[in-house]
Structure 1
Amino acid sequence: MNKTVGIIGLGIMGSAIAPNLIERGWRVIGFDIDAARRAELSKAGVIIAADATQVARDTPIIMTSLPTPAAVMDVAQTIANSGQPPRIVVELSTLALADKLRFEAILNKAGHIALDCPLSGTGAQAKLRDLVVYASGDSRAIAQCTGLFADFAKQSADLGAFGNGSRMKFVANHLVAIHNVATAEAMVLAERAGLDPKMVVDLVGPGAGGSRMFQMRAPMMVEGVYEPATMKVSTWKKDMAIIAQFADDVGCETPMFTLTQPVYTQAMAMGLGDQDTASVFEVLKKTIITDPKSGAGQ
């Protein structure tokens, strides 16, 4: 197996995945438009390419992890125009299905194979290889990537037709949106009840009421520190809009998910866009009213 892989986009996810691959014997060639990211990842052992065209030239498998549809389409077009033999291009971002299909069409027309492989997990989880890869597209290409996935994720699955990976990711993120706000509400409740917040984290997390989001985000809420962000509120708002559109497209009402949306919107209004989504705790602390006659903590 040729253990050379390209990564275009060295942001929260790309920068966490690359060192894990290097540690497991991969030669990683990466590119990002941000010079600071390039410098940081060069120190971690990534071979920094001059541009996306060089990544396409030098790597048989390319992973893209990018923040916007425009960036993804630009990279797809760059790879398509590179004049290279067929490459497997693994798209890891969370995008609307229509954008993923445009990405696939651009690459397929140029003879490349596009895979839709969004990741379940945060940047913090990526550092620990605690990710799930929702792979979809050409089954032979996915099989060729199985070893790669195993070296930066704990689990991967072939979900069949291109786009099913994104559909699974939308379902997962629907729950993440709810669990994160539920965690914040529970921590406000505990605080108003006079409970030791650290004990709440230690005892609720492992119990029946715990969740992965509680385990990850409740400690951040206790400390009141939301940087560095494992998922920025601004990015999450983009993802939530995609999920809402997806649910509408399939004709499924999402009452619980819909109730969480104003909380994230308020976080943006409070200037928390670059903070971790755990910062919704600050929103609820300001908006949840406690009855002064309740006798909390007595």
Structure 2
Amino acid sequence: MGQHMARNLIAAGHEVYVWNRTAETAKDFAKNEACIAVVDPSDLIAQAQIVITMLADDSASDAVHLGEGGLFASTSGATLVEMGTMSPDHISELVARAPDKIRVIDAPVSGATKAAEDADLLIMAGCRHADPDLAAVFDALGRQTIYLGQSGAGAVMKLAVNSLIHGINQTLAEAMTLAEASGIAPALAFDVIEASAACAPMLKYRRSLYLNEAEHDVTFTVALARKDMEVTAGLADRLGTAMPQGRATLAKLIDAEKAGYGARDMASVLDFMRKERP
């Protein structure tokens, strides 16, 4: 997703610098696109007023912000925008530990790889508003930005949205296996679901993955879905809210990961459920 987002920023006329934990990835990207690769995260702040991170989890974000040569090692000022799915507690820690000249904003996104490619992401920003430069960056990346008023609110809403998405993913797998068990062909079953009142946008753009997962690149792994639901369950515990369906979804994701599905796309939960027995 980060590569698609960087391309959209370049296409919108922004001067872009890139870094990746795998240095060759950044170098190859910079070679093919009109941008510059840097050696360390701290070098990004030396070059740019706005730095976007798109990372998998809290530990990856810790390393990039707090590690040697990390973003917080810079003495320059910048706005750091964390657009990955992080826990609200992690965002609070980043805000608390940020050097004086650095502002941290959580602005996670909703939308898969295709949405990132098409600049069709929904951005959930944990701030009251954006200055013109940051607003222009958001406009280059997404179709809409919703400002949620306070730091950490973006992280909370991303977990809430993802818990719904992972619940739909599980329920779709169960509905499909029920239909298939009666002899209805998978494509026909999906036709009906897609035309029904139950269809969510994610089912439409992930149709090909559900029907032929092996023929497509992984867009979001079962392991990441499990991580999302674990963080969400922890947040629910802290806030004192009940999430019985979310915990059932988490249990199935844990089972799927134990069965070897962790690195596969979350659409593979359909294949996993086909092999489940009561």
TM-score by length of 2: 0.91
Work out the percentage of aligned pairs sharing the same amino acid: 26
Shift of 1:209: 1.7
Give the deviation of 1:40 after TM superposition: 4.1
- Show the counterpart of 1:49: 38
CA RMSD of aligned residues (A): 1.9
Structure 2 CA distance for partners of 1:178 and 1:226, relative to 1, 3 Å = farther
Q: Distance in 1 between matches of 2:177 and 2:215?
A: 16
The reply on whether 1:17 has 2:9 as its aligned counterpart is no
Match of 1:70 in 2: 59
Query: Which stretches of structure 1, 4 residues or longer, exceed 6 Å deviation after superposition?
Result: none
* 1:286-297 equivalences in 2 (<5 Å): 286-288=275-277
CA deviations over 1:23-74 (Å, ceiling 9, x no partner): 2222221100113422442224342112212111000000011223233223
Kindly provide the amino acid, as one letter, of the partner of residue 89 in structure 2: A
**Per-residue Cα deviation, 1:151-170 (whole angstroms, up to 9, x for no partner):** 11111011101011111112
Counterpart amino acid of 1:126?
A
- Looking at structure 1, the residues matched to 225 and 35 of structure 2 have their Cα atoms a distance apart, in angstroms, of 27
Are 2:230 and 2:250, in contact at CA under 8 Å, matched by a contact in 1? no
| Whole-angstrom distance in 1 between the partners of 2:113 and 2:119 | 10
- The question of 1:122 aligning with 2:107 is answered no
* 2:16 aligned to which of 28, 39, 55: 28
**Superposition pairs of residues 54-203 of structure 1, within 5 angstroms:** 54-77=43-66, 78-84=70-76, 86-107=77-98, 109-137=99-127, 139-141=129-131, 144-203=133-192
Choose from 243, 249, 255 the match for 1:260. Answer: 249
- TM-score when normalising by structure 1: 0.85
CA–CA separation in structure 2 for the residues paired with 1:16 and 1:197? 31
How far off is 1:262 after superposition? 2.1
Rounded Cα–Cα distance in structure 2 between residues aligned with 1:187 and 1:46: 45
Aligned residue pairs total: 274
Where structure 1 has 5 or more consecutive residues not aligned to the other structure, the ranges are 1-12, 290-298
CA 1:172 to 1:250, structure 2 compared with 1: closer, same or farther past 3 Å? same
In the TM superposition, 1:171-250 aligns within 5 A as: 171-225=160-214, 227-250=216-239
Deviation per CA, 1:131-173: give whole Å up to 9, x if none.
11100136354x5411111111111011101011111112111
Q: Equivalent residue of 1:27, what SS? A: coil
Tell me how far apart the structure 2 counterparts of residues 65 and 93 of structure 1 sit (CA, whole Å): 5
* Aligned-partner Cα distance in 2 for 1:73–1:94: 13
Q: SS of the counterpart of 1:155?
A: strand
Equivalent residue number for residue 4 of structure 1: none
